[in-house]
Amino acid sequence: MLAGAESPGVPAPVGLGIAPDYFPSPESQGGWRKLEDAAEIRRVAGADPDKLAALRQWLLDSDKRDFAAVVIRRGYIVLEVERGNSARTDSRRVASVSKAICSTVLAIASEQSQQGGLPKKMKFDDHAFQFIPWAQPLSDPRKARITVKQLLNHTSGICPERPAPPMTAHGNIFSATAATRAPGNSRSIPARRAATPRTRWPTQRSFAKP
């Protein structure tokens, strides 16, 4: 999914009665609302149709790989271009897009827990492994100090899924000798930490705000 395609010269819509919050329906019920008329794209979404057309052509011409790209602006699909893949029906590994999904879900869970909607309250500054019972007993005692926020911000000292780690200025960034695995989960949690929380990778972007 791509963001942007906004033109600085396109004003925000005025008096259109657009609700401040919009949640798309499931794809089976129509999915995201969409604008296709150039005038509506400019007036309602505040996007430049010419720039969107140029982006579409660039995506098609850049290489020959299959892809699916969607631009959403102010709650409307303003560009949807595909080759071989479907933005609506394909289901596959989303890689780092999962960071935004995970942090959003945890933010909702934290809010609901503070309101008494969950058995246990959770804040981003809480120690994370109290919420991961299958990881007990901890294979590395330093894990007890890791917070939920540090997991989301990549400052926990854990560098997973690198059995052949690269070398950095700090030396080997991964020191796992075994793994802690959740029941039925093929992905593992490194058994040993590569660093104490917040002592390495201090400039990682934050994907979750407390």
Dihedral angle, C-alpha 29, 31, 32, 38, nearest 10 °? -80
pTM of the model: 0.50
Q: What is the mean pLDDT of residues 81-100?
A: 84
Tens digit of each residue's pLDDT (9 = 90 or more) over 5-36? 444 444 444 444 455 678 888 888 888 999 99
Share of residues in the chain with pLDDT > 70 (%): 66
- More confident site: 72 or 155: 72
Phi-psi region of 78 (alpha: psi -120 to 50; beta: other; left: phi over 0): alpha
Tens digit of each residue's pLDDT (9 = 90 or more) over 113-159? 999 988 899 999 999 999 988 989 988 888 899 999 998 888 888 77
Q: Cα–Cα–Cα angle for 73, 74, 80, nearest 5°?
A: 30
Phi-psi region of 124 (alpha: psi -120 to 50; beta: other; left: phi over 0): alpha
Q: How confident is the model at residue 179 (pLDDT cuts 50, 70, 90)?
A: very low
What would the two tokens of residue 149 be?
A: 């926020």
Total Cβ atoms within 10 A of residue 153: 21
Q: How confident is the model at residue 98 (pLDDT cuts 50, 70, 90)?
A: confident
Dist CA 161 CA 189 (whole Å): 8
Dist CA 158 CA 205 (whole Å): 16
How high is the pLDDT of residue 166? 45
pLDDT tops 80 at residue 182 = no
Dist CA 195 CA 41 (whole Å): 49
How high is the pLDDT of residue 153? 85
